[in-house]
Structure 1
Amino acid sequence: MTRPHYLDALHGVGVLSSLARFDPHVAGTPPLGLDLADSDIDVLCHAPDPKEFTIAVRAAFGNHPGFAARQWVSGGRPVIANFEAEGWTFELFGSRQPTEEQIGWRHFRIEQRLLSIGGEALRTLVMDERRKGLKTEPAFAAVLHLSGNPYEALLRLETWSDEALADVLSWSIA
């Protein structure tokens, strides 16, 4: 059975409308066109009050298969909830930090920029690494020959101009 496009799944479940007051942003591999069969749909939210977020998420999605919510004990104590619907696994991430400042969103934005500049050649190379088992950030780091922690290495590219990124891509994907 084929699962629906991720946007259709989001709409069908009503994720964005149910979480509207938490400034939801869809991130991760499906909007990048880098998803695999087991990829999930990540929704990053601004949840200044973790208890309120947890209550809202449980009320909206608690009846879905696989529903679970937990709160990290470190790193600002975000709430993560998962559930299954429309053939997808959803992961909702609620942090006290505004959505656009969250590390996950920042990674997503630099990956979008890189793909915009590197085009299909970059997408193909990153997908090759993903099919070998690498997560998204390590796959980008491998293709771009970035040293050190791949998550930190990608964030270092965040302030680079498109021209500087294009230079890195020209020798990385040649």
Structure 2
Amino acid sequence: MPRPHYLAVLDRSGLLTALARFDPHVAGTPPLGLDLPASDIDVICQATDAEAFARTLWDFASAFDGFAIHQWKSDGRPVVASFHLDGWPVEVFGDPRPVARQPGWRHFEIERRLLGLGGDGLRAAVMRRRRDGLKTEPAFARVLGLEGDPYTALLTLDEMPDPDIVRMLKSRLT
């Protein structure tokens, strides 16, 4: 039986409402149309009060299958929770920085922009790499011929003008 659409799952669950004071943003492969059967729903939040964020997640999701929560020891000490909702793995990430400045959101925005400029050819090339086992950022980096750490390399495209990206895409996808 196929999984329900990720937006329907989020709407029915009330997760985004529960996290409203933490500015939740849905990111990752489902909104990009790059999801695979094992893909998760990513929710990125601004959590300046890690304890309140963790308490909210505990109150909302601790009874769900696979619930786990932890706090990183570095890089702003974000809180990360994972659990399952209606057949979908979910990961909720709370960092003290505004969502727009968090690397996960920046990757998502860059990938959305690239797909908008690269169209079906780029989507198909990235999906081939994803089906071969690569995560999203490494798949984009491989298709685009980006050197070094794929997560860092993708962020370098943030300031690149659209005409330059289009030229790069044409050279990589032809």
Calculate the TM-score normalised by the size of structure 2: 0.98
**Residue number in structure 2 paired with 1:67:** 67
> Offset at 1:86?
1.1
Residue 88 (structure 1) aligned with residue 122 (structure 2): no
- Runs of 4+ aligned residues of structure 1 deviating over 3 Å after TM superposition are none
Matches within 5 A, 1:14-53: 14-53=14-53
Q: Percent identity?
A: 54
- The answer (yes or no) to whether the contact 1:42–1:90 under 8 Å persists in 2 is yes
**Residue number in structure 2 paired with 1:55:** 55
**Structure 1: tracts of 5 or more residues without a match:** none
**Structure 2: tracts of 5 or more residues without a match:** none
- Paired residues in the alignment total 174
Looking at structure 1, the residues matched to 119 and 10 of structure 2 have their Cα atoms a distance apart, in angstroms, of 26
Counterpart amino acid of 1:91?
Answer: E
**Residue number in structure 1 paired with 2:158:** 158
Looking at structure 2, the residues matched to 158 and 22 of structure 1 have their Cα atoms a distance apart, in angstroms, of 25
Looking at structure 2, the residues matched to 12 and 121 of structure 1 have their Cα atoms a distance apart, in angstroms, of 34
> Offset at 1:78?
0.4
Looking at structure 1, the residues matched to 110 and 3 of structure 2 have their Cα atoms a distance apart, in angstroms, of 27
- The answer (yes or no) to whether the contact 1:12–1:86 under 8 Å persists in 2 is no
**Residue number in structure 2 paired with 1:126:** 126
> Offset at 1:115?
0.1
Looking at structure 1, the residues matched to 14 and 116 of structure 2 have their Cα atoms a distance apart, in angstroms, of 29
Secondary structure of the 2:158 match is coil
Calculate the TM-score normalised by the size of structure 1: 0.98
CA-based RMSD:
0.6
**Residue number in structure 2 paired with 1:139:** 139
